[in-house]
């Protein structure tokens, strides 16, 4: 079967979403869980791809640019790096499925330093549905790279959030006006 869509659930971890996360967007991020799980169910049942590009770091890495910008977060093998709540439960139930993959990323974009583009092209994917956090950081940088690589973009407004409402609103406008993304609820 040839599938042409993939859902990306970007950085939906405890550190970015839970109340005690190191760099949390808190309640706005927590409210996304039902929409993300519903989209994952829908895409998975249709035989489409459900991908979880997930930020990973080493604490105090002097070579990583984020070390100067943010406190340590999403450190490998920690509670903070684990997926948050209902999304974690969904992935635990489907982790062995061929069309579900969680993979590491070390930069804002899910494309930077990963084989994501190659894997999507092998599977004839041409449309990406973006969800997760943070709208104006990792979701934005992933969207820009996807646009530059020729993918069609669908941004699920009720499935993205940030810790900065102004940045979140700006990113939603940018997705539509500068990247030609379709914004849906």
* Nearest-angstrom CA–CA distance, 67 and 49: 32
Express each pLDDT in 59-80 by its tens digit. Answer: 888 899 988 899 999 999 999 9
Question: What is the pTM (predicted TM-score) of this model?
Answer: 0.96
Give, in words, the CATH class of 5-184.
alpha beta
- Per-domain residue ranges of the chain: 5-184
Per-residue pLDDT, 60: 83
Does pLDDT of 56 surpass 50? Answer: yes
pLDDT in tens, 71-115: 999 999 999 999 999 999 999 999 999 999 999 999 999 999 999
Q: How far apart are alpha carbons 23 and 73 in whole angstroms?
A: 7
Provide the pLDDT for residue 1: 46
Q: Using pLDDT thresholds of 50, 70 and 90, give the confidence band for residue 3.
A: low
pLDDT the model gives residue 53? 98
User: What is the rounded average pLDDT of the residues 164-170?
Assistant: 97
């Amino acid at each position: 079967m040839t599938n042409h869509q993939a859902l990306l659930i970007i950085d939906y971890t405890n550190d970015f979403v839970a109340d005690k996360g190191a760099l949390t967007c808190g309640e706005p991020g927590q409210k996304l869980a039902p929409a993300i799980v519903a989209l994952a169910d829908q895409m998975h049942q249709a035989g489409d791809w459900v991908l979880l590009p997930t930020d990973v770091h080493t604490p105090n890495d002097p070579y990583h640019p984020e070390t100067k910008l943010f406190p340590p977060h999403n450190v490998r093998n920690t509670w903070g790096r684990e997926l948050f709540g209902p999304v974690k439960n969904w992935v635990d139930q489907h982790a062995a499925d061929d069309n579900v993959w969680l993979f590491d990323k070390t930069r804002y974009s899910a494309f930077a330093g990963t084989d994501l583009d190659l894997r999507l092209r092998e599977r004839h994917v041409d449309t990406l549905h973006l969800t997760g956090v943070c709208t104006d950081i990792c979701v934005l940088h992933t969207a820009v790279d996807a646009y530059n690589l020729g993918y069609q973009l669908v941004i699920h407004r009720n499935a993205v959030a940030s810790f900065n409402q102004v940045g979140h609103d700006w990113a939603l406008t940018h997705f539509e006006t500068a990247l030609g993304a379709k914004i849906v609820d």
